Amino acid sequence: MGLGKEVITVDKLDIGLWTLAARGHIVPSRSLLKTPRQIAAIKKSAALNTAVLDHVAAHIHEGMSTAEIDRLVYDFTTEHGGIPAPLNYEGFPKSVCTSLNNVVCHGIPSEHEFLTEGDILNVDVSTILDGYYSDASRMFTIGDISPEAARLVRVTQECVDLGLKAAKPWGHLGDIAHAINTHARKHGYSVVEDIGGHGIGLEFHEEPFVSYVTPKGSEMVLVPGMMFTIEPMVNEGSPDFFVDEDDDWTVYTIDDGLSAQVEYMVLVTESGVEVLSR
């Protein structure tokens, strides 16, 4: 009786990845490259995620509490067949992150926190639809804001757009980081180093960790099928931060300066990079 043999299929992509790895490049595992079927399903989740952000944009106003934003997100998401990914994730108690002024990220919505004129707010929405994950965030400005706050929000948006422009198939994650960090520093801002973007799609947080302070040509190669977030946190002053000891979630700037963040969820394709949710 003959022994069974395992058949291993090798294609051009495998050979290309092996070649790059042999040259010292960091390459994604095949498990990080989404299949066409997975991409189609994840795009549906991403479309709902964008719709949730649009819903928030249509209803946000001065005087509302951040808890009201949380209810907007929960109700709209569940009414459309989705699940808010943050809810109960590692103990996070709400459906969305609302990060106000000097909060870098992971702000917890509260009945006692109200939006007032001059505030800047990041609303970070993440959605599960049919088991697939999506993630994006926007900055909102409340009433008339200071020139300093307006400049920070504008430059942060520019950073993300420049990072997106720098992202090319078979380039590197470091190309995105270099474009973002260079633009932020040019305007006198800093980029948070120890919190970054992440892979997304099949899980809430996948590999790779996406830094925004690494050199051009460094970090993982951008291979078609990769999916991740571009979401730099840009600080008015120091890039350092601390985490609230009481809730173990809310991240504040160390110097009480303003912080802003914009997040795109993107897919690397054969011809470029496609934004799935923003």
Q: Give me the pLDDT at residue 4, please.
A: 42
Q: What pLDDT digit, counting tens, does each position of 208-220 carry?
A: 999 999 999 999 9
pLDDT at 9 over 70: no
Q: pLDDT for 121-178, tens place per residue? A: 999 999 999 999 999 999 999 999 999 999 999 999 999 999 999 999 999 999 999 9
Q: What is the pLDDT of residue 12?
A: 83
Domains of the chain (ranges, CATH numbers): 30-277 (3.90.230.10)
CA 219 to CA 198: how far, in whole Å? 13
Question: Worst-scoring range by mean pLDDT, 8-12, 80-84, 113-117?
Answer: 8-12
- pLDDT (tens digit per residue) in 33-72: 999 999 999 999 999 999 999 999 999 999 999 999 999 9
**What's the confidence (pLDDT) of residue 97?**
98
| pLDDT classification of 1: cutoffs 50, 70, 90 | very low
Non-local CB neighbours of 67 within 8 Å, separated by 6+ positions? 109, 110, 111, 113
Residue 11's pLDDT band, with cuts at 50, 70 and 90, is confident
Average per-residue pLDDT for the chain: 95
Residues of the chain above pLDDT 90, percent: 94
For residue 10, pLDDT over 80 is answered with no
Q: For 76-89, what is the mean pLDDT?
A: 98
SS3 string of the chain? CCCCCCCCCCCHHHHHHHHHHHCCCECCCHHHCCCHHHHHHHHHHHHHHHHHHHHHHHHCCCCCEHHHHHHHHHHHHHHCCCEECCCCHHHCCCCCEEEECCEEECCCCCCCCECCCCCEEEEEEEEEECCEEEEEEEEEECCCCCHHHHHHHHHHHHHHHHHHHHCCCCCEHHHHHHHHHHHHHHCCCEECCCCCEEECCCCCCEEEEECCCCCCCCCEECCCCCEEEECCEEECCCCCEEECCCCCCCEEECCCCCEEECEEEEEECCCCEEEEEC
Which one, of 87, 123, 84, 91, lies nearest residue 107 by Cα? 123
Are 170 and 223 contacting, i.e. CB atoms less than 8 angstroms apart? yes
